[in-house]
Amino acid sequence: MKKITILAGLALVFAGCYNDKSDKLYPTPSITTCDTTAITYSTDVLPIITTYCNTGSSCHSSGSTSGYDFSTYAGLKDVANVDLLLNDINGTPSTGHSAMPKNSTKLSDCNINKITRWVNLGALNN
**pLDDT tens digit at each of 126 positions of the chain:** 565 666 555 555 555 555 566 666 677 766 778 999 999 999 999 999 988 887 655 677 676 667 788 888 998 998 898 878 888 888 765 556 667 887 788 899 999 999 999 999 999 999
Burial of 92 (0-12, 13-18, 19+ CB in 10 A): exposed
- The reported pTM is 0.69
3-state secondary structure of 46: helix
